[in-house]
């Protein structure tokens, strides 16, 4: 059975519900007039995030600069009965920062200060608007870095990373955002400021920090984050290997992991993805069926030995060619080719939908064959770029929104790929979050009892479901709702705010 469509067909969002003048006056008194955005043409900037097929215009956008200002804004919105949608850089790919009708969108882009650095104890305290890559830049000269590295790390923010529990190419060895957050300061729906965790490792009590990281802005507004930072490895060895098809590349991944090697990163790209990266970045990659890009790191002796074993396994698995970069510049160009893959898809098609599912690593070849079959049946090309080491797929469904029906067909194909991941014992998301995009599929992965338990956790933090409503859960599931059979989400029935 197909899930109801959430696509808003290339139509502008409808006129926003104006924020009450008295509310606007109170907000201006807190953050200043230039930081309260309410003109319709200006609000259009915030009507979607990286998932651009969803568009809803907020009633007002507020840009606070401190925890104290966030507290005041939250209290004003709650008193006015306005839902609050938090937003970082807007690079999310699941509609997590999508406004809801009548909402106050709380943008955290001005909160971009690095507050404290403790190299001796390996942590840094930042505001949520700090760009991911800027954390590493700040501490690089001292020999440290921040490990989670989403492809958008040059523009995405720490607050958004915390909301989505973002990963990145090097999460295979180093883990996701949750493994690198020691503490957060958060504003609750009642306007209270709470500190969860902190610089000290393993505090006693319930792991509330693990609940907050990845909660997609539904529990509170994070205004400070304490991050774990690491010493740079002594050595990193990289290789790029090409294969006739993704079958041989998948075998290579299994052989490497099966040999007890834990790469810092091992990424796979298929022919379409390679073609796009070459066109966009100028890397001199050949026209082949698949490629792997792998990093191993550690002390120099360990990195050399591990890289040598991995190279031998790649050749044994049918590699057509293996390249080792001659210097760091060439290595960075290789990684630029991989990290530019999403944006490079514009070279192949005017529009695309990127999905984010997880499968068992052993099933990579079979799942890719299924995706190819679905692609052929639907008449739409699918490029595959993914974190092969942990089975985190990023299929990119290419289409042309100018062709009637193609956008809907692309969305349906994306949904079938998510169902494929579930069928193989995987997940509908690895690092992009559920947001509005995947909410309809949550009921296919979890039981009503599961979803009810999740809703109870949410309600313990936010009894009025003030923060980021209509996200994550496939039914309204307001506090006090009883579990029951699946009911379409309101945004499903309306096609997201009455389809614009």
Highest CATH level, class, for 114-231: alpha beta
Averaged pLDDT, 368-374 = 95
| Record: fold of 349-423 | Alpha-Beta Plaits (3.30.70)
- Report the alpha-carbon distance of residue 216 to residue 436 in Å, rounded: 11
Q: Predicted confidence band at 481 (pLDDT cuts at 50, 70, 90)?
A: low
Averaged pLDDT, 164-178 = 95
- pLDDT at residue number 477: 63
Side by side, the strands of the sheet bearing 36-37 are: 36-37, 60-62, 104-107, 84-87
- Report the alpha-carbon distance of residue 272 to residue 275 in Å, rounded: 5
Angle, CA 306 vertex, CA 305 and CA 307 arms, to 5°:
95
Pure H helices in 246-388:
246-258, 271-281, 300-316, 328-339, 341-344, 364-378
- pLDDT at residue number 201: 84
> pLDDT for 437-452, tens place per residue?
999 999 999 999 999 9
Provide the CATH number for the domain formed by 21-107 in this structure: 3.30.43.10
- pLDDT at residue number 478: 67
Name the 3-class secondary structure at 298. Answer: strand
Sketch the domain layout of the chain as residue ranges. Answer: 21-107, 114-231, 235-343, 349-423, 439-494
* Residue of 151, 58, 73, 195 lying closest to 354 (CA atoms): 151
- 235-343 under CATH 3.30.70.2190, yes or no: yes
> pLDDT for 53-77, tens place per residue?
789 999 999 999 999 999 999 999 9
Which tokens hold the place of 361?
A: 């690593």
| DSSP notation for 147-163 | ----TTTTT-BHHHHHH
Pure H helices in 259-299:
271-281
- Report the alpha-carbon distance of residue 315 to residue 252 in Å, rounded: 9
- pLDDT at residue number 128: 98
Higher pLDDT, 332 or 479: 332
Computed on alpha carbons and rounded to an integer, the radius of gyration of the chain in Å comes to 23
- Residue pair 433/163 in contact (Cβ under 8 Å)? The answer is yes
- Report the alpha-carbon distance of residue 120 to residue 142 in Å, rounded: 11
Mean pLDDT of the chain: 91
Length of the chain: 500
Q: Tell me whether the CATH fold assigned to 114-231 matches the one assigned to 349-423.
A: no
Higher pLDDT, 495 or 175: 175
Q: Predicted confidence band at 497 (pLDDT cuts at 50, 70, 90)?
A: very low
- pLDDT at residue number 116: 98
Asked whether residue 4 carries a pLDDT value surpassing 80, the answer given is no
């Amino acid at each position: 059975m197909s899930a109801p469509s959430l696509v808003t067909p290339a139509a502008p969002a409808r006129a926003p519900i104006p924020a009450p003048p008295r509310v606007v006056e109170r907000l201006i008194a807190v953050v200043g007039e230039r930081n309260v955005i309410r003109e319709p043409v200006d609000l259009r900037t915030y009507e979607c995030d990286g998932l651009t097929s969803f568009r809803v215009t907020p009633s007002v956008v507020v840009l606070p600069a401190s925890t104290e200002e966030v507290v005041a804004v939250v209290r004003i919105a709650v008193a006015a009965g306005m839902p609050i949608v938090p937003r970082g850089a807007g690079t999310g790919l699941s509609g997590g920062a999508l406004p809801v009708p009548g909402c106050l969108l709380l943008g955290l882009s001005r909160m971009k200060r690095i507050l404290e650095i403790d190299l001796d104890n390996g942590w840094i305290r930042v505001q949520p608007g700090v760009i991911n890559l800027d954390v590493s830049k700040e501490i690089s000269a001292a020999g440290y870095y921040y490990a989670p590295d989403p492809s958008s790390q040059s523009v995405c923010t720490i607050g958004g990373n915390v909301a989505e529990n973002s990963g990145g190419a090097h999460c295979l060895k180093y883990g996701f955002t949750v493994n690198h957050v020691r503490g957060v300061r958060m504003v609750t729906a009642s306007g209270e400021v709470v500190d969860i965790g902190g610089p000290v490792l393993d505090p006693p009590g319930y792991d509330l920090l693990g609940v907050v990281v990845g909660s997609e802005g539904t529990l509170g507004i994070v205004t400070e984050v304490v991050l774990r930072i690491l010493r740079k490895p002594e050595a990193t060895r990289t290789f790029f290997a090409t294969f006739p098809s993704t079958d041989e590349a998948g075998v290579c991944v299994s052989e490497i992991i099966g040999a007890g090697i834990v790469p810092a990163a091992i990424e796979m790209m298929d022919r379409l993805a390679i073609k796009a990266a070459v066109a966009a970045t100028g890397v001199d990659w050949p026209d082949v069926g698949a490629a792997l890009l792998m990093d191993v790191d550690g002390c120099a002796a360990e990195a050399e030995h591990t890289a040598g074993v991995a190279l031998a396994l790649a050749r044994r698995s049918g590699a057509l060619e293996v390249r080792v970069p001659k210097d760091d510049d060439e290595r960075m160009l290789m990684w630029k080719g991989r990290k530019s893959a999403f944006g490079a898809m514009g070279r192949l098609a005017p529009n695309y939908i990127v999905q984010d599912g997880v499968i068992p690593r052993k099933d990579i070849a079979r799942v890719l064959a299924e995706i190819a079959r679905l692609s052929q049946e639907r008449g739409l090309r699918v490029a595959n770029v993914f974190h092969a080491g942990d089975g985190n797929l990023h299929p990119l469904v290419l289409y042309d929104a100018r062709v009637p029906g193609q956008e809907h067909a692309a969305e349906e194909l994306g949904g079938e790929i998510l169902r494929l991941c579930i069928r193989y014992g995987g997940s509908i998301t690895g690092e992009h979050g559920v947001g509005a995009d995947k909410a309809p599929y949550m009921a296919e992965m979890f039981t009503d009892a599961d979803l009810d338990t999740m809703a109870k956790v949410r309600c313990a933090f936010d009894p009025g479901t003030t923060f980021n409503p209509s996200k994550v859960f496939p039914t309204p599931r307001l506090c006090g709702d009883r579990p029951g059979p699946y009911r379409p989400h309101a945004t499903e029935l309306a096609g997201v705010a009455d389809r614009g």
